[in-house]
Structure 1
Amino acid sequence: MPDGDCLGRRMSPPAQPASALHDAPDADTPAPAADGAAAAPPEAPKGGEVRSRAMRGSMWTLVGHAGANLTRFAANLLLTRLLFPEAFGVMALVNVFLQGLHMFADVGIGISVIQSKRGDDPAFVQTAWTLQALRGLYLFVVAALIGYPLSLVYGIPDLAWMVPVAGSTALIEGFSSMALFTQNRALNLGRVTATELLSTVIAASAMCITAYFTRSIVSLLVNGLVAAALRMAFSHLLLRGVKHRFAWEPEARKEILQFGRWIFLSTAATFIALQIDRLLLGGFVPEEELGIYSVALALALMPREVVGQLAQRVYYPLVASALRDHEHAKVRELRWKLMSLLIVPVACTIGVAVPLIELLYDDRYHDAGPLMAVLSIDTWLSILQMGYGMIAMGRGEPRFATYGTVVKTIVFGVGFMPIFHAWGVVGVAGLVCLSTIAPYATTAYAAAQVRAARLGLDLVMSAAVIGIAIGAYTLHGVIERATGASLLGIVILGVIAVGVPGALLATKRVRLL
């Protein structure tokens, strides 16, 4: 799908029938209270539970997110045959604006629940839910107000109604259960990831059916609306936590908003840094070319999305726990092990980008191949930064990410015009990579305060990524010339990308947990 769903959310783990999930609790989920009251939120795991829950959580996250990505990828292939490239360009702009609203109004509610010592306190959770609902209402109102002005600025009349409709997803998701975060805090990820995968699969199916019958851009909006509604409903029906009601405990509100002020600044800066490429390109290239760029970006982001889910759901809770216990060596070890598992998959993605696009898409989209390769390099740099960023967040210091993203935005803004005029859209993709060095540097500095930064190791791993990517591209070419089958080379590289980290884990040469 172009540029992710409207909320910028990324889905995860294996689907089961909703009834089975509701009736048969999994091993991670506490039984309901005997008197029928809502079960209390799970306590954060301690001692020997941490390893087993983290391992189960990793499995759910990786398998489930793979399922969600396959669903989105299949839908993407179908949509590029049913719709025109301009539709992806317009939807990319809608997503940029909506993601911007979300990020400019992000006060770290979910992260606060995971990070706070009061994350299991019903009063704290209910206050967080109230803030989340108010935030959703605010986002919807703002989206309704900005649609028409944006249509005038970009000269695209459809933005006048598309932005408000897409913005209604924020209102819906504002009422999602906080069990999404309390279960995450306790590393009980079975139902959370199944809930999100079910939402993704059903929403993607609805989108494709709508596209088939209407051949209209409306189908791209259907995805976000259905996913938001299902995610909200499933979070209440399938996940157990405190009974939700509006609450306004002053101490809880103060703690969330104090922690969230740096989250707000960081996410606002992150939005500008991550979306400025599409915001500026939207004013300089045709909608068709912007649509091709968004297709390349969506594919390049897939590895980052998998890592992001794993980092948020498993790595971050473990890092936050280790930092609370002053186990700095463990923090350092967690990061480098995670990074080492990702070298080959990311490198193979870079190497296979051009032949993959040429095989799967028609001639209209072939220019996305080089763009995907360059943007996949940025994926690696962003993954390196993400590891340090989670450490900074676990220390309660999100300001370091804010500093870096501000510098990233400045670098991109200053370099955009000369690079665009000299090298076009591919040059802009290269500028995205270059500007990512800024947030990497600031978050690495934050990690260095707890002796968790390893810059030399990062350089070695980055060199390995480039070397393996060149080797992967060369290997594909050799196989294609020898057999005349591009698909065979892509399949072999895919097996290598999955098999190498799998073998490292299976043989316990790398133990992530």
Structure 2
Amino acid sequence: MHSVRWLSVAQASKVLGQLVSVVVLSRLLPPSAYGVMALAGVMLTFASLLRDLGTGAAIIQRKNLSPVLADTVFWLNVAMGLGLGLILAAAAYPISLFFREPELFPVMLLMSLGFPLGAVTAVHQAWMERHARFRELAILDVFTQVGGLCLSIGCALAGWGVYAFVVPSLFTIGVSSTWLWFKSGFKPGRQWSREEFRSLWGFSGSLTAFNFINYFARNADSMIIGRMLGAGPLGQYGMAYKLMLFPVQHMSWVVGRALLPRLSGIQDDLPAVREVYFKVLGGIALLSMPIMVGLWSLRDPFVAVVLSAKWAIVAPLLGWLAPVGIMQSLMSTIGSTLTSQGRTAALFQLGIFNTATVLAGFFLGAQYGVVGVAAGYFVANSVNFVVTVVCMGRWLQATPGPLWRQMKAPVVSSVVMALVLYGAGIGFEHIVLPLKLQLGMLIAVGAAVYLGVLGLAFGLSPQSLLRTLKGKS
């Protein structure tokens, strides 16, 4: 897909930027700064769901988009953005008292400014995505990512602590909103339609409800750790979670963002939807599995080299969270797929089950500390993964055979890579080499083995691999 190419450029810049950020900022900032920002992020993510209400997806999914609907969505988003900004500002102090973190108060006050700014151009971004203008969006993403990273490092060097995260965030929102307003081509009018608003709720209501349910599943760990254990342990857990999540999250985001418009265009052709969906899963697995299996296999030297001694607990946390990364990367496509079919009610029902399972895992695991939370998260995601695969098979009227044909190459190749890395790690115990050199050599060995098995056992050359990832036959 042409759109995937440009989205991949934008996400590659974000991945690179976040890698640099992790390596540099983890040495300049304490875990408590990460913890405070994680607590603020819990509240901000919740407010973001309220602001959008799934209306962006409605703009993209509608076959025939009327100006009245676009205007209705615009004014709804503006009202929600302004209201939520005020609510967050008013709630900042009580929330800081609940989590016993005084620094959370000014952080949330500043971050609340982003909601009215972002809400004004939410429709503008959806408008550009609907018209597949991903090249322009990619350029914007790269610019704001580079600018935000420079600001973040500068603030950290200046000793600004947690504000090294706050300032770049406001910069990104401000620049993005200004650019989208003038460049998107969408010009909001003054129209408002009750009928269009009611039709929006029929589509977006279940989608928003699913997003709320999914929010609690993804953020309950931060709330539990922040309340029970404090900002320091939350910062350490958040670092492990970020290392697990952001590579697969960005890859899945690229595919998911391009997947909804594509599937919406063929929503009445179920066999075609199945074919695209399975190819997308195979493409995600080809990338996410070796990264997460490699991270799991090399977690101890990776943490020692990339982070520092104050982050040592991240290694055992990754032992539980890296496998979760594989499962979540594959499950991340269900939202776009079911939304394209108009089955947001089914998405909501699945979200209820998944959230209940994850919450149970968090509460049981929290009795054993931060590592227990990670272990509970792994068990809950394993259950949810099996249930999700079964449900998607029924809803798409699919059999296991076509899915396994897409998945067997990355699964087998990743398992072989893990076994080789295990043996190589034992061998390096008897060789005196700098840890950085050992890690570099092991990464090279793992990549060579993975690509070698793909080529020798499954006939996937680098060229055919690229075609597969692009979704071409």
> TM-score, normalising length from structure 2?
0.87
- Find the aligned partners of 1:383 and 1:118 in 2 and give their Cα distance: 31
User: SS at the partner of 2:18?
Assistant: helix
Q: Which residue of 2 aligns with 1:167?
A: 112
Which digits, 9 at most, give the CA deviation of each residue in 1:462-499, with x for residues without a partner?
Answer: 96486256336426526745683222222454577799
Q: Determine which of 247, 250, 262 is the counterpart of 1:306.
A: 250
The corresponding residue for 1:322 is 266
Q: CA separation in 1, counterparts of 2:27 and 2:229?
A: 22
After the TM superposition, which residues 453-464 of structure 1 pair with which residues of structure 2 at under 5 Å, given as runs? 454=400, 457=403, 461=408, 464=412
Matches within 5 A, 1:52-451: 55-119=1-65, 121-176=66-121, 178-237=123-182, 239-323=183-267, 326-353=268-295, 354=299, 355-422=301-368, 424-436=369-381, 437-438=383-384, 441-442=387-388, 444-446=390-392, 448-451=394-397
Aligned length: 454
Residues 11-34 of structure 1, C-alpha deviation per residue, up to 9 Å, x if partnerless?
xxxxxxxxxxxxxxxxxxxxxxxx
Q: Secondary structure at the match of 2:329?
A: helix
- The SS at the match of 2:102 is coil
Change (3 A) 1:150 1:493: same
Give the direction of change, closer, same or farther, for the CA distance of 1:502–1:277 in structure 2 (3 Å limit).
Answer: farther
- Provide closer, same or farther for how the CA distance between residues 245 and 369 of structure 1 changes in structure 2, counting only shifts above 3 A: farther
Look up the match of 2:457: none
Query: How much does 1:86 deviate?
Result: 0.7
- Between 497-506 and 63-72, report the one with greater CA deviation: 497-506
* Paired letter, 2:151: A
1:444 deviates by 4.8
- Return closer, same or farther for 1:122/1:188 CA change in 2, 3 Å cut-off: same
Residue 166 to residue 125, structure 1, CA distance change in 2 (3 Å): same
Question: Is the contact between residue 344 and residue 465 of structure 1 (CA under 8 Å) also seen in structure 2?
Answer: no
Report sequence identity in percent. 19
Tell me the equivalent position of 1:47. Answer: none
How far, CA to CA, are the matches of 2:303 and 2:46 in structure 1?
A: 29
Segments of 5+ residues of structure 2 without an aligned counterpart are 455-459
Q: Which residue of 2 aligns with 1:512?
A: 471
Check conservation: 1:208, 1:219, Cα contact below 8 A: yes
Change (3 A) 1:395 1:157: same
Range with bigger deviation, 450-459 or 389-398: 450-459
Over residues 211-243 of structure 1, what are the superposed CA-to-partner deviations in whole Å (9 max), with x where a residue is unaligned?
111342122111211111011012123x33222
Unpaired stretches in structure 1, ≥5 consecutive residues: 1-54
- Measure the CA separation in 2 of the matches of 1:248 and 1:429: 47
**In structure 1, what residue type is equivalent to 2:156?**
A
Any conservation in 2 of the 1:297–1:375 contact (CA below 8 Å)?
Answer: yes
CA contact under 8 A between 2:7 and 2:254: conserved in structure 1? yes
Cα distance in 2 for residues equivalent to 1:94 and 1:88? 10
Contact 1:347–1:469, Cα closer than 8 Å, also in 2 = no
Residues 162-199 of structure 1: CA deviation (Å, up to 9, x unaligned): 21211211111111263321221232210012112211
Tell me the distance in 1 between the aligned counterparts of 2:364 and 2:337.
35
Which amino acid in 1 is paired with 2:294?
Answer: V
Q: Partners in 2 of 1:411 and 1:192 — Cα distance?
A: 36
Correspondence for 1:477 among 418, 425, 431: 425
What one-letter code is carried by the residue in structure 2 that aligns with 1:426?
V
C-alpha distance 498-369 of structure 1, shift in aligned 2 (>3 A):
farther
Aligned-partner residue type, residue 317 of structure 1: P
Distance in 2, matches of 1:474 and 1:261, equals 48
Change (3 A) 1:497 1:62: farther
- Cα separation, 2, equivalents of 1:442 and 1:170: 33
Instruction: Determine the C-alpha separation between the residues in 2 that align with 1:336 and 1:496.
Output: 25
C-alpha contact (below 8 Å) 1:187/1:313 kept by paired residues:
no
1:497 and 1:178 map into 2 onto residues whose CA distance is 42
Write the letter of the residue equivalent to 1:503: P
Letter in 2 for 1:229: G
Shift in Å, 1:426: 2.6
Give distance in 1, aligned partners of 2:251 and 2:160: 33
Q: Is the 8 A contact 1:352 1:476 kept in 2?
A: no
Higher helix share: 2
Whole-Å separation in 1 of the counterparts to 2:322 and 2:104: 29
Query: What secondary structure does 1:174 align onto?
Result: helix
Residues 246-267 of structure 1: per-residue CA shift (max 9 Å, x gap): 4313333222222111122111
